[in-house]
Every structure is written in structure tokens, then in C-alpha cells.
Structure 1
Amino acid sequence: MTDDPSPSPLAPGSGPLPPSSQFPNHDGPRVWVLSAGDSPIGISLTRQLLAHGDHVVTGITPSNPEREDPRRVNFDAFLEELSAEEGQNGYRERLEPVELDIRMMSDCQVAIATAVAKFGKVDILFCCSSQAIIGAVEELAVSERTQALVRDQFETNYFGPVNLVKAVLPQMRKQKSGHIMALGGITGHIGTPGLGVYCAAGWALEGFCDSIAYEIAPFNIRVTILQCNIEIGILSNLVTSVPPLYPIYSRSINHAPLFRGIMNDILSRLPGISGHVETPVQSPMSGPSPASLSSTSTGNPETHHERSSVDSDLYPLSAGNIVSLYPPLSPAHLDVLTAETIHAITAIGGHENPPARHIVGAESVASVKEKLKTVSEELEDFIACSSAVDIGADENAMRVVSEETTAQASS
């Protein structure tokens, strides 16, 4: 098998592939398990893996009768694409979709068992499931419904990947090899106003990965965290916004760059999304909005008046209800959005000595550099404060101070 740096698309119109993609050298096909194979990144990555000759067990989000998931539609179209090419390359034979709710440990165990039963091993586990809850911390605490969203954020973005890691470790230890990859973002390193819970779940996952990497290194199992631009995780997955607290967190009063405003500015420019909405907004890709996702109101009779006075906040995610949607980006836009990340995944996945952390993109690197600069400046104050309370750091200095104090008292 050859390592072709620029494999051809599976079918016309399937989107351009990064021309510089390069897989690590290896002796035979690798077996990948993807946690969200029906996501834009999952589909694009699977396309490249199959073209390269690898095997893929890809997790598919279970159907939700209350909402038509555009990702399931796109994945079905992808399967049809593979079937059309079946006689030429056997792509479909090397792909095994499984329904996977990563919040359920039993589903995670079934996915790993399926990979072992069909392909004999698991070389690379790629955790890429994500969703984003948008809202200030106070806004996320106003009702049982919003607090449930907070818990679900952690169930999906933190406990889900942890479940998959725990499910795959026995197999990788048995093999004495393996590579675990977790797709995160710079939000796992940098706090973002309006994404507090999303960031918290990302930080939790990174702390888990950093810690377990030391524990499993003796078994020749590697761990890599990929930190992408914030748009990767947000614009390619489900976004849920809770009702704003007006006027407290309106732009005219609170000048913090809340992420709701940033997303509103983006969504208002996309076809099919109209600004100035009072009812839940749906993506044209997602079908009817379920009442169950849009039933929570602020209960404030002055909400509409306050919103009307702040034109810049009258956008999809500023409705007085909980709003859930998939940003309606076209497949071509998603290909461009995720191309750099896909290249990073294929270049690192299965590498003999992969990086423990890989920051994807110049923008992400610049953001992390700025964060580290701030931390370095704060460290000087931290050292000074710590030294001031470390009474045992310099016994001689303490004795001198004591003697001087005694002498002053005597005089």
C-alpha cells in the first residue's frame, strides 16, 4: 500500500481534499474508531481514511424523533456515495457504522467490540463529539431546563470521550499499542465569555488527557490533544443558546465580548437565517424545530421592550426561548473550514511519536501565545504573593526580621 499525499475524492462533488495531506508510514491498514462519524469532520476524515486504505468504525448519533438531524442526512448521502464506488475500491467493506451515544458506556463498549470483531484491533481512537451551550453563567442558572443543558454539555463533551477512552484501554493494553486523539479547541486553554460551560468541559477533558497520558505510556499507548480554532467545534456541531438576561448582558450595558453576539453576527449573514426573531430559529437543514427544545421563556414581561431598545442584539440566538440549531453552512464551506484540521489529524494519527498537544492553525497559535504571555506576567505577581506567605522559605530572613523587631521595641 502506498501513502498517497493527495488521494482523489470518492465521487464528483464530494468536496476538495487538502492537497498536502500526508499519513504516517506504516506496514498495513490502520483501524480507526471515530466517535462522531456523521459530523462534518467525521465524514471528511472517513473519506480520506478509506481512500488511504484504512478501516473505520464510525459512530452515528442515534436518531432523535423530535428533530431531523441534518448530519444523518449528510451521512446517508455519503454512504450512497460509497456504494456507487463499491465495485472499484471496496470502500464500503472497510467502513462499519454503529449507532453510538457516547454518554452511554454500553454503546462505547459495543463500538470497540465491533471494531475488534470486524477488523481485529483498534489502532486509533478519535474523539470528536461536541456540542456548544451558549450563555453567560447567570443565564445558565435561571431554570431547571438550563441547568439540565449544563449537565448535558459535560455528558457530551467530557464524560462521553472519557467513556470511550475507558472502553478502548483494555484492547490497546492487550495490543501493547494505540493512539488516543481528542479533538478540542483553544477554548480548552483560553476562557471565552458566553461559553463558560463549554470551556469548562474542554478544560476538564484536557486535564483528563494530560493525566492519563502518563498512566498509559508504559503500555505504548499515546495521547494527543488537538486544539483547533473555535469555529471548528462551534460551527460544525449543534449550538444551543439559552434566553438572555436583558438588559444585564446586552451589548449596550455589558461590554464583555459575549460569544452570543459573535455567533449572532455570523448567523445573521448566512442564507436561511433571518435576524430579528422572536420565535426559535431552525436551520433549513434541520427540519422543524421541536417544541421540547424551545419551551423555556425568560418570564420577564419587559424582555421584549429591553430587546427592542438594543437592535444589535435582535438576532437568532437572542430569542426569549431556548434555541437549538445546526449552523447552515454548505458542504463546500464546511470542507474549507475543516481542511486544515483534517490534515493535522491524518498527519498525526498513528504516528510513532505523536505530539501530546497540537495547536491547529496560525490563529490558534497566536491566541495561545497571547494567553501564555499573560500567564507569564501574572506569574511574577504569583511568585511575590507566594513568597510573602511562605513563612518557612527562609528561616534566616525570619530570624533577622525578628531580631530587628525586638531591637526596635527595646529602643
Structure 2
Amino acid sequence: MSSFSHAGRIGAGLVLALIGLPAGVASADPGPSSVTLAAHEQPKPARPTLEAIKQRAARDGIPLEQAVKDYISTTAATRTVAASAQPDGPVDTPDVMVDDLHAGEIEDLTRIAAAEGIGLTAAIDGIAWQGQFEKVAAQLEAEFPADFAGAVKNDDSAWFAFKADVPAKAVELARTLPVRVDLVGDRGFSERELSAAAEAAHTAVLADPAVEDAATSYDVRTGTVIVETRSSAPLSAQDLLPRAALEAGMHIQVTQVDKVSQPEDKYIRGGGSLGSCTSGFNLKYIYSSTKRHATAGHCGQSAATRTYSNHSTKGGWTKVNRVWWHIGAWGDLSYYTVGSKSPTRTFYHDWNKTRYADDRSPMPSVGTRICHFGITSGGSCAKVARRDVSSGSMRHMVVMDKDISEPGDSGGPWYYGGMAYGIHFGLIGGKSSFTPAYLYQNRGYDVWHR
């Protein structure tokens, strides 16, 4: 499609315009109804098993990571697992809990800790509560759609904002989180309105004949619509936001870049090889038992038939046929038949390592840690930097805070623990990006999970 750039990376941008209200009227300033819940007054999780493992690690002089791994493997070896608990057979990640932490989540936390050099204890303290945070954010967005103005997770705090007063329900829900929580009122606009302003700006930019490609997102904390564009002439941001949006406290920033977006081309289960792409999760039709195999839309666009291959320890391959592909309002998605293999609710989270998908996430919040597997890069994790991003004709994309992917990773699974998040696209703004998996519901499908 003409809106895609198929080579290169995004270069450093030149900010062309930043338009908004004077600093004294900036919507990022806390409103009079703002509430802060101090960290020391928030509930803390009780993890007696983890504490015992920490004591053993200190006594034996071994890293906590090794002690936790030993506990999980020993516990798994001594337990009998009911067949109903593993409907598609055994996987490499055992169903062992360390207090409230599943072995799959601990595997991801260990990977994040190693990559960021923070240690497993710090990773657990800073990240393991994100599931609670996501539930609170989703509930607030669902119950107060006209007032919810965004949510951001930091390692040691959470931030929620509202167009007008902070609802009492928001304070009640925020009191369940184990960290400091800032609830900001009187923002002047909702996230829905900020998203609509970003969509209007994106449409206007793409209509300019000088524009070759563009990606548009927004920052809920500053109320800024961010447009990255590749164009043959400088653009003026003056008319991209209506006066009502500016008066509400929104801003717009237009940046000229070298490249905007880049797809990454190069039993059946998610994370296997599809030739020049990676396979995503298996899907189930909501109204019947029909199964399909997910991957990226541009992978489906480029090949009507592909060869699916398991990793080496599982072995085997099968031909799969494209059923549907899409690049547009529902992101970058496609699905294929499952060939001669039996579909499962499992996926590869690393080379030759399988895990069950246990749930499927809605649109993730900014600050959420999510991991990815690609047939070229392997497994790695990053943090959500932008959500509900428009890039070219694609909508509702999620962009991470760094590039952790390579050509050939397209279509691969994004996950955290057993939670399925999305299908890998490639790069937007030079950062790894994916399509949220919930968008398959527009076709009557959803991630097949336990």
C-alpha cells in the first residue's frame, strides 16, 4: 500500500510546530479536584512463598532468579496436573504459582529484569501490579467514557485523569493499587475527545498532497496531538486542531521525519514460522468451533499460501491458506487456515518454549510492560509508549518505547504471562508496534485461550 515505507528506519525528527494555549492555561496542570493517595497508605501484596524463597537464596548464596526457578521446577515435578488443566497437552511453562505470580509471569519478569539490569525483586515490585492497574483503567474508561482522560503506569506510581471532577468510584478503585496514585481532575477534555482530535488531524494531514506518509498519536499527560510526517514540503499545524480543542487545553506538534512506518517481513501454535513472517495466536470464531491462525495483515496481503513450521523440538510443518487480510481501520491483521495441524491454545514465548494463552487484553495503557516473540529476534520486552495510534491507513495501533524487533518478526505474538495482547506489525516512529488482538472481534474471532 502506498502509505507504507518498506525500507530503512525513522531518522531524527525536526519539530515544525507546537501550537496550544499559554503555559498558564495548560491542561496538564492538576485540577482543584485532584487527589493523591500516598504509597504508604496503599495495600501491599502478601507473598510469603516469595519471602521464603528470598531467605533460601540468601542462605545458599545464590541469585533470587535461580532460587525461584528451582522452586518452580521442583514444585512442578512433584505435582500431578489434571488433563483438563492442559486441554492441548503439556507446555514448557508449568502451572505453578508463587503466591499471586504465575510461572509464566515470573519468566517474563526475569527477562525484563535481566534486560533492564534491575534485579528480579525490583521487577516484581515495579511491574507485577500492572494487571491490577489495567483492570482499574479499563473499568474507569468503561464507566466514565465521557470523562475519562487517560491512565499511565509508572514503576512506582499510577496516574489517572478526568475531564471534570475525579469520580468517587475512581478513588475507591485506586485504593486497591499497591503504589502512590495521582488522580487528576478538571483536565478540560476526555481521552475520547483527544483521540478524536488526533484522528481529525491525521485525516487532514493525509489529505495534503505534499504528504507521503504520516503517523499520529497523542500524549494523555500533556494533551498533545503528535503528528510525524514525511512530506515534500513543510506543514503548518495552525489549522489541524479546531479552536474548541485548543480552548479545551489540547496542543498539536508536527514533526518532519525520514521514515514513518515499516512492516517487518522476512500441533500449530502462535510464534511459529510462516516463512518471511512469524505466526501469531490461534483464533476461535465466537459463534462456532471454527479455528484460524493469526498473523499480520501485510503478511496476509503478500502471500495467499504460506508454510507454517514449528520450532525444532516440536517439529513438523503444514501449508496454510489465507482466509482474510486487512490493513486499515482495524490495524494490520490477517488469518489463515490451520492446515493439517491441530490448533492449540498455546504459543511460543521463546525459542522452543511454549505457554498457554489464558486471556486476551483490551487496548493496553501507557506504561504497561509487554513481551514479544519474533522468528528473527526471539523474545524480548518493552513498555507501551503510545496507544490508539494512527499510521497511514492503519488505526488503533500500539507503539512501544523502543525497537526490539527485526525483519521477519511481523505477525508474532505480543503477550505478558498468559495474557495475549497483540500481533506484531513492525516499526512506527522507529519503535516496535503491534495491532491489539481484540480487534479480531470485528471479524467475529478472538484469541483462543484456556
TM-score (norm 2): 0.21
Structure with more strand by fraction: 2
Larger Rg: 1
TM-score (norm 1): 0.23
